[in-house]
Structure 1
Amino acid sequence: MSLLELKGVETFYGASQALFGVSLDVKEGEVVALMGRNGMGKTTTINSILGLAKPRSGSISFAGRQVAGMRPHRIARFGLGLVPEGRRCFPNLTVLENLLAAARGSEWTLEKVVELFPRLGERRDQYANTLSGGEQQMLAIGRALMTNPSLLILDEATEGLAPVIRQDIWAAIRKLKAAGQSILVVDKTLSELLPVADRCFVLEKGVTVFEGTPDRLTPDIQDRYLGV
């Protein structure tokens, strides 16, 4: 059974249509990659899932509930945790305050987040706006985990980060996968994304053009839909 399932989702911004019948699903304990060039509908798909954009047609179910059109805060309470593009940490709160502000549930604790990202423990009393970009991304992931999500959504998880920091982030994602965390991840670094993904969905101009396991994502498909 799918934890998250989109069927035929069509989303507009005013009169401009962004999604044309997008379908995808994430099963329990699965890591799913949502892929495509810039401007092809990935962020709109995430916004539609989270209620930040209201689909005009189609269905979105999460944990057995129809959530399309619900307010974002209601959807989040069902167990969706977002690490947004651009991180968006609370700049004038410390690392500790950012994490505690999101705390909900008991599985993910402050101690477990610091174990996953030791750097956050070292920086716990620093304000978020004094952290490096990589540290802010760790904080954004840790903050999302503190909500104890059933599904973690990572939008551009490693964009713009130094290679050594990207390695730390991917190592954390592999640990989360090993622990059974369901994840929907958007990222352009195929060499690091494909080994951790169970399945991939590719969008082209707001349409789902590929669904399958990473081994089926041939060089021809990559060149056609993912190349620069």
Structure 2
Amino acid sequence: MSLLEVKGVQTFYGASQALFGVSLDVRQGEVVALMGRNGMGKTTTIRSILGLNRPRAGTVRFAGREIAGMRPHRIARLGVGLVPEGRRCFPNLTVLENLLAAARRGAWTLDKVVELFPRLGERRAQYARTLSGGEQQMLAIGRALMTNPALLILDEATEGLAPVIRADIWTAIRRLKAEGQSILVVDKTLAELLPVADRCFVLEKGATVFAGTPAMLTPELQDRYLGV
């Protein structure tokens, strides 16, 4: 049984249709890659899952429950944690305050987040606005983990980060996978994304055009759907 199941979702911005039938699913303990060129509907799909955009057609089920049209805060409380594109840490709160603001009971505690990202422990008293982009991304992931989500969604997991920081983020994602965390991840660095993904879904023009394992995503398909 899938933890998250999206079927035939159609989403609009006013009169303009953005999604034309997106389908994907994430099973318990899986890392699933959501892929596609810029502007093909990845972020709108995530927004539709999270209730930030209400689908006009299709279904979104989480843990067996229909959540399409549900308010975003209710979806979050059901166990969906988001690391948004652009990080969106609270700039005028410290690292510690950012983490504690999201805390819910569960396996992910402050100590465990700091173990995953030691740099956050070193900078716990700093304001988020003073952190580097990579440190802010670590903080955004840590904040999402502090909600103890059943499903973690990362939108543009390593975009714009220095190679050494990207490596730290992918190391953390591999650890989360090893611990059984279900993850839906958007990222453009195929060399790092495909080895950690169990399955992939590719979007083109707001619709799912590929679903399968990384091994099935041949160089020809990568060039067709993901090439510049």
In structure 2, give the amino acid aligned to 1:124.
R
Distance 1:63 1:106 in 2: 18
Q: Report what 2:118 is aligned to.
A: 118
1:89 aligned partner: 89
Matches within 5 A, 1:56-205: 56-205=56-205
List structure 1 segments (4+ residues) > 2 angstroms apart after TM superposition: none
1:142-180 Cα offsets, whole Å, 9 max, x none, are 000000000000000000000000000000000000000
SS at match of 2:56: strand
For 1:215 and 1:80, locate their aligned partners in 2 and report how far apart those are by CA, in whole Å.
28
Task: Give % identity.
Answer: 86
Taking the aligned partners of 1:207 and 1:71, their CA distance within structure 2 comes to: 24
Could you tell me which residue of structure 2 aligns to residue 217 of structure 1?
A: 217
Please provide the CA RMSD for this pair: 0.4
Structure-2 separation of matches of 1:89 and 1:21? 32
Determine the C-alpha separation between the residues in 2 that align with 1:221 and 1:105. Answer: 43
1: CA distance, partners of 2:63 / 2:78 = 8
5 Å matches for 1:10-49?
10-49=10-49
CA distance in 1: counterparts of 2:199 and 2:121, whole angstroms: 33
C-alpha displacement of 1:106: 2.1
CA distance in 1, matches of 2:130, 2:58: 43
Question: CA offsets per residue over residues 83-134 of structure 1, 9 Å max, x none?
Answer: 0000000000000000000001221000000000000000000000000000
CA distance in 1, matches of 2:182, 2:5: 13
Report Cα offsets for 1:33-90 as digits up to 9, x if no partner: 0000000000000000000000000000001110000110011100000000000000
Whole-Å separation in 2 of the counterparts to 1:218 and 1:18 = 27
Distance 1:86 1:24 in 2: 24
> Aligned equivalents of 1:120 and 1:163: distance in 2?
19
In the aligned structure 1, how far is the partner of 2:106 from the partner of 2:77?
14
- Match in the other structure for 2:3: 3
Equivalent AA in structure 2 for residue 147 of structure 1: T
Letter in 1 for 2:200: C
TM-score, length-scaled by structure 2: 1.00
Q: What residue ranges of structure 2 are gaps of 5+ in the alignment?
A: none
